[in-house]
Structure 1
Amino acid sequence: MFLVITLLFLSTRSTGVVGDTLFAGVCDGRNGDNLPSPTQTISLYQKINIGWIRLYEPFPDLLNSLQGTGLLVAVGPKNEEIKTLADQYEYAVNWVKTFIAPYNVSFNWITVGNEVIQSEIGRYVPQAMRHIKAALTQTGISRTIHVTTVLSTAALANSYPPSAGVFKPQITEVLTEIASVLSSTDSPLMVNIYPYFAYASDPSHVSLAYATFGSDKPVVIDGNYQYTNIFDAAVDSFNAALEKLGHGGVKVYVAETGWPTRGNPPYTSVENARAYNQGLLKKLTTGARATPRRPQVPVVTFFFEMFNEDLKQGEVEQSFGFFTPNMVPVYDMWNVKCL
């Protein structure tokens, strides 16, 4: 009964929609042995009016359940496929023909690599992106699909203040190439941002209010830009880093962000997770969708994540979900009044 009441409340009050435009999605991780079926999963997304879903690989059963739903989908190949995608164009064509073309699914983003830029695989990402984009063109479906990659904040050599954002020297060359690809295709760079880790690792210098959208006054003043929360500051650090590569026109979208409820008290808690995620949802569904450095660019964002995943390593990593695997809310995440 609690779940039914919650879902009814969500569907009527907090759709994450302004007009006809949704500026928030939710990631769906599959590292669990007790997760709902694909049909149940997609049904839950629809019931709570989530319009975007991020998949970490193209699971056929999930893609089948997504057909005809209209949900916008972000999906990518496995990291271990990237080198082959870069080396063999026909492999990219077959990947598109196998996982994209056959499905009546609203694919909007293909993420070539999740946090791989600093690894040996990273140097293959730009060519793999080109091959996927060319394969989409060959199959006649490229105009609505953006091909990108996903970085972690570890890609930055400096992020404070945000205007000093710069990529690490050892990956600058490959990121310049990636930014050039993104610029030429009008595609965003995607990043994973977790203020929880900044707060939990240095609570004496990072306040909980700054980490969880609890401050109504600037905490960081960076020239003409003022920041009341870490999320905006982190996004703008990437914006500044892209400017230093000569590609300031590339948009920065957030592929993952969230806050765990367990595993590292007092930093992990239902209260902190609710404050962060509800604060971010409110930002994304009101007039504050952008950042100080890019006030005209709404930050497309995926929350992490729909369900707790019991096969991930450590209690913190297992505890980012909005729902337990039996689809009971962990907390009233979506109980926010949107303007």
Structure 2
Amino acid sequence: MAQSHLIGKSSLMTSIVLQFVLLIASIGTTTGAQTGVCYGTLGNNLPPPKDVVNLFNQQKIQRVRIYDPNHQVLEALRGSNIELVLGIPNTDIENIAASPVNAKKWVQDNVKTYANVKFRYIVVGNEVKPGDPFAKFVVPAMQNIQTAISEAGLSKQIKVSTAIESGALGASYPPSNGAFRSDYLGAYLDGVIKFLVNNDSPLLANVYPYFSYVSNPNNISLDYALFKSTFVVVRDNSLHYTNLFDASVDAIYFALEKAGGSSVRIVISETGWPSSGGASTTLDNAKTYNINLVQRVKAGTPKRPAIPLETYLFAMFDENQKTPEYEKFWGLFLPNKQPKYPIVLN
């Protein structure tokens, strides 16, 4: 009995040490490439994908989000070791939801074919709204994609999610009042949250303090939106906020808790600030926001402190085919691959 007791303690200690080592290793990999970029292609003057991937490597950009399975981009990413967030366009959601066979073919054509591309997430839809005709198909599509990647032996490597907009919140101030709108929950978000909990997947969220600021400049200061405030602006019980980004993210965390998703982590799938084309869209404001953001996300938020927040800056390039005018100017880089301002993401 004594001997077996000692063996049990030894095994327990070994297990604890192993878990600690794995935790440290995971923290190391998480913080190593915390901020990625969104790579949109709505421009007629953008460099070819191979040149873009070379630019990613030069700039030490290790995580990238794309919005559809562009095969030229996927080919360029082969063997690059860049982690990829791959989107399924809203227009394809219903087809993938219609049949597991359709989802299996999509995974075969766009994931398995590119076995030497490092896929991180598959994002089923972007900013789906309750009134969209495909909203009711989001969860079935996610389930079919999950089944397809599981059958392909990729479920440990790839997580399935969707990307929501901040407009999914019905309340966000103060952050502890954060709650999802009932129409979003009823249309698809209830099912999404249950899916994420069951599959240990994150919720992707597009968070834009820029839009909050320009829609309410009388009550939101520019310094608060740009991470420049030197004092606490919002006191929410024990949580104190010096910037709008943290408050926005924590409002989503509170909303998740109220909807049964307290175990779900958030990934910021888009954030940024335009440099031209609209209100407060100066190059200096864009530079200030993006540089401060890269530093801020390393420390987590007041509600989830010391947990680095995986974040994707929007966007890699200015895209001249987007509308309205300010949508053209979110890029960190000009189409000629020159940076608008010095920024180090990792």
Pair in the same fold by TM > 0.5: yes
> In the alignment, which residue of structure 1 is the partner of 2:109?
98
Question: 1:161-206 CA deviation, whole Å, 9 max, x = no partner?
Answer: 1111111111213212111100111100001011111111211111
1:293 equivalent in alignment to 2:339: no
Structure 1, unaligned runs of 5 or more: 1-17
User: What secondary structure does 2:274 align onto?
Assistant: coil
Q: Percent identity?
A: 39
1:124 equivalent in alignment to 2:134: no
1:187 equivalent in alignment to 2:201: yes
RMSD (CA atoms): 1.4
Q: Which region of structure 1 is more displaced relative to structure 2, 307-316 or 171-180? A: 171-180
Amino acid paired to 1:171: Y
How far residue 315 of structure 1 moved from its aligned partner, in angstroms, is: 2.0
TM-score scaled by length of structure 2 = 0.88
1:107 equivalent in alignment to 2:119: yes
CA distance in 1, matches of 2:222, 2:80: 38
User: What secondary structure does 1:144 align onto?
Assistant: coil
Question: 1:16-35 CA deviation, whole Å, 9 max, x = no partner?
Answer: xx954211100000000010
Q: Which region of structure 1 is more displaced relative to structure 2, 133-142 or 144-153? A: 133-142
How far residue 136 of structure 1 moved from its aligned partner, in angstroms, is: 0.4
> In the alignment, which residue of structure 2 is the partner of 1:312?
322
User: What secondary structure does 1:250 align onto?
Assistant: coil
Q: Decide which of 181, 201, 204 is 2:218's aligned counterpart.
A: 204
Asked if the contact 1:191/1:255 (under 8 Å) is kept, the reply is: yes
Amino acid paired to 2:286: A
CA distance in 1, matches of 2:99, 2:74: 25
CA distance in 2, matches of 1:137, 1:282: 36
Q: Decide which of 77, 84, 87 is 2:88's aligned counterpart.
A: 77
Amino acid paired to 2:326: V
> In the alignment, which residue of structure 2 is the partner of 1:28?
39
> In the alignment, which residue of structure 2 is the partner of 1:263?
277
How far residue 120 of structure 1 moved from its aligned partner, in angstroms, is: 2.3
- Structure of higher CA gyration radius: 2
Asked if the contact 2:194/2:260 (under 8 Å) is kept, the reply is: no
Question: 1:98-145 CA deviation, whole Å, 9 max, x = no partner?
Answer: 000011100000000000142221111111101001000111122110
CA 1:178–1:296 in structure 2 vs 1: closer, same or farther (change >3 Å)? farther
CA distance in 2, matches of 1:117, 1:182: 19
Question: 1:291-324 CA deviation, whole Å, 9 max, x = no partner?
Answer: 1112253211000011000000122100000111
Q: Report 1:244-263 matches (<5 A).
A: 244-263=258-277
1:238 equivalent in alignment to 2:248: no
Amino acid paired to 1:282: Q
CA distance in 2, matches of 1:297, 1:185: 20
Amino acid paired to 1:154: G
TM-score scaled by length of structure 1 = 0.90
